[in-house]
Amino acid sequence: MKKIIMGMIGGGIGAFIGDAHRRASRICNDFELVGGVFDIDYEKSKVFAAKEGISLDRCYKSVDALIKAELALPKNERMEVVAIVTPNDLHYPFAKKLLSGGFHLVCEKPMTLTVKEALDLEKLVAKTKKTFALTHTYTGYPMVRQMRDLISKGVLGTIQRIDAQYYQGWINSVIHGTGSRITGIWRLDPKHAGVSSCMGDIGVHAFNLIEYTTGLEVKEVLSDLNPVKDGIKLDLDGTVMIRFSKTLKGVIRASQICAGLENDILISVYGSKASLRWGQENPNYLYLFSDSEPTKIFKPAHGYNVKLAEEGHTMPAGHPEGIYEALANIYKGTAKSIRKEKFNPGEFPTVHDGVRGMKFIHAVINSNAKGNVWMKV
């Protein structure tokens, strides 16, 4: 099958997330990266393109130049999809231009800086009928997809509590001046990051995992956020109480200042019959707890898993897979959509998930700013 021709905005020299997207698209094996705008500095962009073996003819100075040149090519030669892997403030303007130009999109989260922008993109996606995939990567893990299926089948009984956390410690060295890390510092600048650092960068992943696995929507939030140090403009740590209904509540905890922790994502869903727990640092293990039976552990590459989970691994049982494969699963679902093949709900997050994420981020920020009060999402 002919590979889908892909471009990329951002993701040049030293960019972790751009490298992750390129690796994932290769693992998926449905895409061919042929060009893009890899850096705001055109000379650096060309150096990167040469290193990757990409023709300098398709290494463009700007997004406008890319759109103009690609649309001038025969349809079977031009880019069909573009991945946006830039800082947050560039997602919306670039997505709007590319969708209007007729390109499908894979976009990093958060989708935009404001709810208004997110709603505008949602309307544009509906108008253009283009595929829009938002890379909430953790939804690509097979055991997260298995968790979603078990919950949908009522294995837990009545859901009674939902907790999620996402703890990191990397930003300590930045704010306390004890390290030399330079990548990611833009996350502390509202101009580039938006209204939030911690909740906008990682808390929203925990929020997305909750809604993805349970199929439920958070109705209200009450937050208590912490910038940690004087002079820091954005939150670096926070706790968010969440309400789904009068009798279903939970909590989201997120932090970038937990010294020594790396990428500690954990989600637990507690029901009247049983409970489920999954953590990203040991992603092959999904735990099912019960008061009446021994604890069960689900793992990838076994026939007891649902089809969506089983389609999400590439290796036999016992061969660990991780973040690249999870992101590749999102690319795989995106390819099906672009080719107008049949695909299952949950194969990739959509523009709707982007809207939900922005509503969550802004509700959390507003709740904290107004004195820790309940806010509707």
Segment 141-156 shows an average pLDDT of: 98
Domain residues of the chain, as ranges? 4-137, 142-305+352-369
Residue 186, SS3 per DSSP = helix
How many beta carbons lie within 10 A of that of residue 284, not counting itself? 20
Whether pLDDT at 76 is above 80: yes
Segment 351-377 shows an average pLDDT of: 98
Q: Select from 3.50.50.60, 3.40.50.720, 3.40.50.261, 3.90.190.20 the CATH code of 4-137.
A: 3.40.50.720
Give the tens place of pLDDT for each residue, 296-336. 999 999 999 999 999 999 888 988 889 999 999 999 999 99
Give the tens place of pLDDT for each residue, 227-238. 999 999 999 999
4-137 shares its CATH topology with 142-305+352-369: no
Give the tens place of pLDDT for each residue, 168-197. 999 998 888 866 555 567 888 999 999 999
C-alpha 286/C-alpha 145 separation (Å) is: 10
pLDDT for 181: 54
pLDDT for 314: 85
pLDDT for 183: 54
Q: Bigger pLDDT: 177 or 284? A: 284
DSSP 276-338: EEEETTSTT-EEEEESSS--EEE-SS-TTS-HHHHTT--S-TT----HHHHHHHHHHHHHHHH
Q: What is the CATH number assigned to the segment(s) 142-305+352-369?
A: 3.30.360.10
Whether pLDDT at 277 is above 70: yes
> How many alpha carbons lie under 13 Å from residue 125 in its C-beta half-sphere?
23
Residue 279 has phi, psi (to 5 degrees) of: -130, 140
C-alpha 73/C-alpha 344 separation (Å) is: 33
Segment 233-249 shows an average pLDDT of: 97
Task: Give just the sign of the alpha carbon dihedral 162, 168, 171, 173.
Answer: positive
Q: Bigger pLDDT: 80 or 175? A: 80
- Beta-bridge partners for 31: 4
Q: In the chain, pLDDT over 70 holds for what percent of residues? A: 98
